Amino acid sequence: MKENSFEIEKFNSWAKNYNRQVRESDEENKYPFAAYENIQNRIKEYVLSRRGKNILDIGIGTGTLAKLLYDKGCNITGIDFSKEMLEKTKTLIPTANLINWDFTYGLPEGIKNNKFDIIICNYAIHHLKDNLQKLLLEEAFNILKEEGTIIIADIITETKKEMEVARTKDINIWDDDEYYLIYDNIKSWFINKKISFEKYSYCSGILFMTKK
């Protein structure tokens, strides 16, 4: 796995305005963050409905979602490749275990002996090519408790055709250097896992993945 230095620098510089740009995209119901607030609320609702509260957030960013869970008593471990993003997160959730790590290399060794109730990857996995996405999810399943859930929120459609429709709609702003998930493909990667998909906009949704 090659170091993603360009992406790291981009997100370091983006940290200051990231939350504002997410909010504007959501309010306009436009790619890439259409339905973002609804998706965050759904994740919060799901996590808080579960018994276990040991949470891993892969690509924690500026910590806005993690803050919602932290305030309700969840124990947060967060990974991000941007130091600037993590500095913002630290001000929101000062007692969280925050790890500066480029997850294009998979998960850091320091957490591989842990077991998590919920593993979240919120608008982050699209930075990895398909084969690396699969490897990251395999590692995530290894540290997921038996009754736990992996939650992936992102640019996701059920079929390849739907993704192409979304891309065509937003062709002038679409980022062809990112690798968006398609539900049909993910099911084929993990045929022995239970995977469900909830659609939230023409281009976004949530995958819920459990071991059985």
Q: What's the pLDDT score for residue 18?
A: 75
Q: What's the pLDDT score for residue 6?
A: 47
Q: What's the pLDDT score for residue 15?
A: 58
Predicted model pTM: 0.93
Per the CB < 8 A criterion, the answer to whether 171 and 145 are in contact is no
Q: What is the 8-class DSSP label of residue 73?
A: T
Q: What's the pLDDT score for residue 32?
A: 95
Q: What's the pLDDT score for residue 16?
A: 66
Give dist(CA 115, CA 75) in Å, integer: 12
User: In sequence order, what are the residues at sequence separation of 6 or more whose Cβ sits closer than 8 angstroms to the Cβ of residue 151?
Assistant: 43, 46, 47, 118, 119, 120, 121, 122, 206, 207, 208, 209
User: In sequence order, what are the residues at sequence separation of 6 or more whose Cβ sits closer than 8 angstroms to the Cβ of residue 173?
Assistant: 30, 31
197 forms beta bridges with 207
Per the CB < 8 A criterion, the answer to whether 64 and 39 are in contact is no
> Is residue 9 helix, strand or coil?
helix
Burial class (CB in 10 A: 0-12, 13-18, 19+), 75: middle
- With CA atoms as reference, report the closest residue to 93 among 125, 141, 61: 61
| Tens digits of pLDDT across the chain (212 residues) | 344 554 656 666 655 677 888 899 999 999 999 999 999 999 999 999 999 999 999 999 999 999 999 999 999 999 999 998 999 999 999 999 999 999 999 999 999 999 999 999 999 999 999 999 999 999 999 999 999 999 999 999 999 999 999 999 999 999 999 999 999 999 999 999 999 999 999 999 999 999 98
- Is residue 116 within a helix (H) or strand (E), and if so which, with residue range? strand 116-122
Q: Structural domain tally of the chain?
A: 1
Q: What's the pLDDT score for residue 20?
A: 86
CATH number (domain holding residue 134): 3.40.50.150
Angle at 108 between CA 95 and CA 73, to 5 degrees: 25
Q: What residues make up the domain containing 197?
A: 5-210
Q: What's the pLDDT score for residue 3?
A: 45
